[in-house]
Amino acid sequence: MGLDLGLEQAGIDIAIGQDFNASCIRTMEANGRKAILGDICNIEPEQLLSAASLSFGEPFLICGGPPCQPFSTAGKRLGINDPRGSLFREYVRMIDAIRPRFFVMENVKGLMSAPLKDENGQNTSGKVIDIILEEFSKLHYKTVFGVLDAVNYGVPQFRERFVMIGSRDNEDIFLPIPTHFQTHQNASNRWITLGDAIKDLENHPGECAEFSPSRLKYLKMVPEGGNWKNLPSDILQEAMGGAYKSGGGKVGFYRRLSYSQPSPTVVTSPIQKATMMCHPTQDRPLSVSEYARIQQFPDSWKIIGTTVDKYRQIGNAVPVGLAKAIGAAIVSVADGTSTIQVKRIRGTGIHEKIQDAIQLGGINNYDT
């Protein structure tokens, strides 16, 4: 949903959407969008094109986030996390049949470095990303890919996502150039904080989940911007339980957010033990409306379902600002104005930081 909204803001009309989750479909329909409910494995390209009133080769863009999680395909001797054995192949099937001018695929940032495993679960010398590139190369799509952090595109949230853009016609595609930075001479180009996004909702948050009494007991002791490490030392082990001796930083345990910083990554629930999203100044989780603000959904956007459904829909979305930046980059290539964007960024004197802001994967040209 956030991907659709951002692309629309970049000037791209959304003709049809598809999801297997009924609540997501009801949300899209409640906001005037056309969508098909169903498993993509059971949907034919002709159905999507018919619903969108488009023909093969006519769509400007297909976008989506096909899961590339481990998938057992031992019968075909594919590794347990080989993307060809997952819903990724269904995404490739649609691209191959429909032949859009561009495609966008977004996914978890770990996709960049994930090793390919064999059918026994052991790491091989291959990489998941190499298989993905190979599949799109077979379709004769030029690709560019990398990891983008939404906070660098005007989103009040640290959220790193793998993004790949593909071009059917071998156009000079590129990932969007960052527009927001931790420090910048112009206030409008600085990171947007959680306070900027939600502080006005503090006293009327609306629909909200609840922390259990046992967790709330400890959260009340944590200051703004703190977490479990700020609890009194004599109760740390009691509060953390078995997690106390586990590895990792555990930064999400008993986490109270800070108004002065961008939000951590919004997850599908604000009350889970390892990823708590406690309000900066009130003893409660972030509300549904605050979640939506962080993901940049308009206040007028209707979200349908139970409270749990609403948090999940919002948490699974692509931030609107990041989607808009991706869409704007594609539109600038399509209409030949991409050099204007580069000149504007260079004029700010911060172009040296662009390489650091985008974890570039590379450009893949298909063989001719």
Q: Which residues, in sequence order, are bridge partners of residue 19?
A: 37
The alpha-helical segments, DSSP class H, found in the chain are 2-9, 22-30, 45-52, 88-98, 128-138, 194-198, 213-219, 236-240, 288-294, 307-316, 320-334, 338-346, 354-357
The C-alpha torsion from 10 through 16 and 19 to 23, rounded to 10°, is 90
Query: Considering 24, 63, 68, 208, which one is annotated as catalytic?
Result: 68
- Distance from C-alpha of 108 to C-alpha of 240, rounded to nearest angstrom: 28
**Angle between the N-to-C axes of helices 2-9 and 320-334, in degrees from 0 to 180, rounded to the nearest 10:** 40
Catalytic residue status for 68: yes
Q: Which residue pairs from 39-45 have beta carbons closer than 8 angstroms and sit at least 24 positions apart in sequence?
A: 40/87, 40/90, 40/91, 40/94, 41/87, 41/90, 43/18, 45/93, 45/94, 45/97, 45/98
Q: Which positions are annotated as active-site residues?
A: 68
